[in-house]
Structure 1
């Protein structure tokens, strides 16, 4: 993500948070696009008026992926509990809710989802959610877009994105050779699928291009 975009994107998110009712902002993009970094910076810039609920908390557990024969494709659309993610977004949008909602998160050190990690108070006006598949239009994923008040798509330079992705895998324990192989075999096919759906976003964020338009 181009750092020069952060002030404009934070202002855009702030306007959503000032609407007077609970809003959900989705940040989508291919693996390594910088979604989690931007989402965390947006939330930090809103001084308690936003909370981050990542899609990655809905990864299926490693044991379940092994049982299903999908462990070597971890990160593909069918390796998540998409219906569970949709159900959480529906709870978060419930205007009559008065109790906090708990959401899972993904622990990259463990490579496992952890239930009940994120507490969303009923009076928080903006939920920021980020993930690869927010804009997909088939299966349970197709219901996500309609639950987002606004969706952004991060579109960095491909070389930058792939380098960042390999470095992240290395940082969390893979050898560089294994990381490069995994990115080519698993992450990049997922990236091509994600990029087919960028047209469903309200805003596409590209390096060197200004962020314009109101929510």
Structure 2
């Protein structure tokens, strides 16, 4: 089922503010997410272009679920599978970091499979540290009590191998349909906050990231739910 909706943009850093996307409301989305986990652990994908606010939305949803089912939900991210900065530099990919070829796709698929199968022991996920600009292993525990695992990422609906396998490992995937200009401005502000000059931030956003955005947008028809951003 596909639903297109709109809501007001909130500040990216605070998961307690108004939800970034909808309708349906966050209450209705939380109910839908809980329904996925009615019979056991479920994996919910949140996908969107760079700057769409995937991790913020995922954390907002987790915070809402915590009110209904404390301890049921946990958020993890595809970003933890960035190749290390030194590896990217050694491969001559520094200028295209964040593109589909700069992730450990096989490792991501393998950990998704483990997360689905190993429900009686803790599965440890990496996370991406934006201060270090590198992934950190073993940073997030997906424990037996976690019934809903919210997975955010850019390429969850990609048809390239091995990414193509991801969709079948997720119970549903929701696409955040961000408005182009607000999304780009968020991305530029993010890069500046991490040390880019305004010129370099804009160049990356309008260059490499636009190619990535086009690739991601080409997969929207594969989503189970599409959520729009307000004007």
Global fold match (TM > 0.5):
yes
Q: What is the correspondence of 1:191-206 to structure 2 with a 5 Å cutoff?
A: 191-206=213-228
Matched, 1:76 2:96: no
Partners of 2:191 and 2:215 lie apart in 1 by: 20
CA contact (8 A) 1:20 1:125 kept: no
Counterpart of 1:213 in structure 2 is none
Which residue of the other structure, out of 50, 57, 71, is the alignment partner of 1:31? 50
CA contact (8 A) 2:46 2:54 kept: yes
Q: Kindly provide the CA deviation profile for residues 123-164 of structure 1, in whole angstroms up to 9, marking residues without a partner as x.
A: 211000001000001111111011010000000111111111
TM-aligned CA distance change 1:8 to 1:208, over 3 Å: farther
Q: Within 5 Å, which residues of 2 pair with 1:176-215?
A: 176-208=198-230
Q: Which residue of 2 is the match for residue 43 of structure 1?
A: 62
- Unaligned stretches of 5+ in structure 1? 210-215
1:212 paired residue number: none
So what's the TM-score if we normalise by structure 2?
0.86
**Correspondence 1:43-62 to 2 at 5 A:** 43-47=62-66, 48-62=71-85
When the two chains are superposed, the root-mean-square deviation of aligned CA atoms in Å is 1.5
Structure 2, unmatched stretches of 5+, are 1-5, 8-18
Q: How far, CA to CA, are the matches of 2:30 and 2:199 in structure 1?
A: 37
SS at structure 1 position matched to 2:207? helix
What TM-score do you get using the length of structure 1 for normalisation? 0.92
